Amino acid sequence: MQFELNSEQKAYQQMAREFADKEITPYARELDEKEEFPWEILKKLHAVGLHDLAVPEKYGGPGIDSLSYSLIIEQIARGCAGVTVTSSANGNSLALYPLLLGGTEEQKQRFLPPICKEGKLVTFSLTEPNAGSDVSAIATTARKDGNYYIINGSKCFITNASYAEYHTVFANVIDDSGAKKLSVFMIEPGTPGVIVGKKEKKLGLRCSDTAELFFEDVRVPKENLIGEEGEGFKLAMKTLDMARPSVGAISLGIAQAAFEAAVEYSKTRVQFGRPICKNQAIQFMLADMATQIEAARLLVYQASWLKDKFLYEGRPFTREAAFAKVYASDVAMKVTTDAVQILGGFGYTRESLVEKYMRDAKIMQIFEGTNQIQRIVIAGRILS
Ligand code: CAA
């Protein structure tokens, strides 16, 4: 076992760090205040090859290993988690995985190159008003009509819904006996009947777009069914396994940014005649923050490495993906809260970015499977 990154991984890490320092961090506050979608940054991420990270080279992606891509996401999230989620919900973790994992070669050749070439956005349209943690409660239907499926239903909390041109949609095909078969479809640009609803106003990740999506008699050719009818639940679960290390990596980036701000402040803030970092109370907080971030980092990097073992050798990593997600997001919440505490009144104002880090950290414990669901997943693996 060795813990050194290879030279390519170090280069990606460095490149993403420099990109975040120059192109993201200086704009993070303004994007958050204005709840402004980060189009310009997204275009630059695409231009330098740091978007759609999961896609192999032969389909137009960068074709990098999963650990490199977590390293990149971590650094970008050090700049702004909202920007990172906007990019990663596309082809780094969520929206393209059903196609990558369950699509035919023909479908991958048809959909991926135009998406990657032009940096098009794709939604992962799974969640519904009555189907959040309980994926099996999805009510959206796909009725067969000759060579088409007609999709009807409503989705909520969909990342990039207002800007995406493609949609990876989960819907139930109802067979003749009335049985529901959860399935996945790719909806292409310009398909009539796709309606964007209310845009959410959120606590954190305020530059990322989250909105409702409605599908009204949307005709989808049968060639756009990803995998088999009835394969939707397993494709959703596998996709979420792939996504959870990325949530861990974003959480790491947020925690690291908050930690760095707290260290810096503690060295310059003078009270009772000396910098506050001279106080053991502050030192113990910083020591705990650093220890927790490092432990989270090891879990995230391990899960990212295992992701490639799953992709290329079929080795299961559901439990380790959940370990990474649950621990890193809990650490991000704890570390950002402690960073606000160390910065005191200043940390509570919008003069510093640490209050934003704390707001951004909260969703990491909620989306892509709440941390309670992660514990159910882990316990299930322990007890089975
Ligand atoms: N990989 C492959 N197959 C899996 C799997 C996995 N990780 N997990 C389960 N399965 C299979 C099981 O083997 C089983 O197959 P068989 O029927 O052939 O035996 C089947 O799926 C059902 O499994 P379970 O009985 O374990 O499923 P369950 O219904 O009891 O519970 C759950 C599953 C863990 C609660 C699951 O529903 C879950 O993870 N829910 C969370 C959903 C979620 O993460 N939502 C987030 C939405 S996306 C989002 O948040 C995006 C965003 O905003 C940016």
What are the extents of the domains in the chain?
A: 7-118, 122-230, 233-383
CA 373–ligand 1 middle distance (angstroms): 9
134 alpha carbon, distance to own chain's centre? 19
Q: What is the pLDDT of residue 253?
A: 98
Pocket test of ligand 1: the residue of 237, 238, 373, 376 to mutate, having most ligand atoms within 8 Å of its CB, is 237
Does residue 102 line the site of ligand 1, with CB under 6 A?
no
User: What average pLDDT does this structure show over 295-301?
Assistant: 98
pLDDT > 90? residue 159: yes
Average per-residue pLDDT in the chain? 96
User: What average pLDDT does this structure show over 272-276?
Assistant: 98
Q: What is the pLDDT of residue 176?
A: 79
User: What average pLDDT does this structure show over 244-263?
Assistant: 98
Pocket test of ligand 1: the residue of 97, 128, 135 to mutate, having most ligand atoms within 8 Å of its CB, is 135
Residue located nearest, by CA, to atom 1 of ligand 1? 238
> What's the topology of domain 233-383?
Butyryl-CoA Dehydrogenase, subunit A; domain 3 (1.20.140)
Does residue 20 line the site of ligand 1, with CB under 6 A?
no
CA 234–ligand 1 middle distance (angstroms): 7
CATH number listed for the domain at residues 7-118:
1.10.540.10
pLDDT per residue as tens digits for the range 29-69: 999 999 999 999 999 999 999 998 899 999 999 999 999 99
Q: CA 370, 375, 376 angle in degrees (round to 5)?
A: 95
| Ligand 1 atom nearest 376 alpha carbon | 34
pLDDT > 90? residue 27: yes
CA 242–ligand 1 middle distance (angstroms): 12
Does residue 347 line the site of ligand 1, with CB under 6 A?
no
User: What average pLDDT does this structure show over 194-221?
Assistant: 98
**How far, in Å, CA of 45 to CA of 327, rounded?**
28
Does residue 127 line the site of ligand 1, with CB under 6 A?
yes
Check: pTM over 0.95? Answer yes or no.
yes
Q: What is the pLDDT of residue 201?
A: 97
pLDDT > 80? residue 92: no
pLDDT > 90? residue 178: no
Q: Poorest-confidence range of 93-97, 268-272, 280-284?
A: 93-97
Q: Which two tokens stand for residue 59?
A: 């389909």
Residue located nearest, by CA, to atom 8 of ligand 1? 237
Residue located nearest, by CA, to atom 12 of ligand 1? 234
User: What average pLDDT does this structure show over 348-358?
Assistant: 96
Residue located nearest, by CA, to atom 10 of ligand 1? 234
User: What average pLDDT does this structure show over 171-186?
Assistant: 93
Residue located nearest, by CA, to atom 48 of ligand 1? 368
Q: Which amino acid is residue 152, in one-letter code?
A: N
Does residue 240 line the site of ligand 1, with CB under 6 A?
yes
Q: What is the pLDDT of residue 52?
A: 87
CA 306–ligand 1 middle distance (angstroms): 19
Does residue 376 line the site of ligand 1, with CB under 6 A?
yes
CA 344–ligand 1 middle distance (angstroms): 41
Is CATH 3.30.70.270 correct for 122-230? no
Q: What is the pLDDT of residue 177?
A: 84
Q: What is the pLDDT of residue 349?
A: 97
Q: Which residues are catalytic?
A: 368
Q: What is the pLDDT of residue 2?
A: 87
Q: What percent of the chain has pLDDT over 90?
A: 95
Q: What is the pLDDT of residue 91?
A: 72
pLDDT > 90? residue 175: no
User: What average pLDDT does this structure show over 325-341?
Assistant: 98
pLDDT band at 160 (very low <50, low <70, confident <90, very high): very high
pLDDT > 80? residue 93: no
pLDDT band at 90 (very low <50, low <70, confident <90, very high): confident
User: What average pLDDT does this structure show over 271-298?
Assistant: 98
pLDDT > 90? residue 1: no
CA 241–ligand 1 middle distance (angstroms): 9
User: What average pLDDT does this structure show over 142-165?
Assistant: 97
User: What average pLDDT does this structure show over 113-132?
Assistant: 96
Which contacts (CB < 8 Å, 24+ apart) does range 59-62 have?
59/108, 59/109, 59/112, 59/113, 59/116, 60/112, 60/113, 60/115, 60/116, 60/117, 61/91, 61/112, 61/116
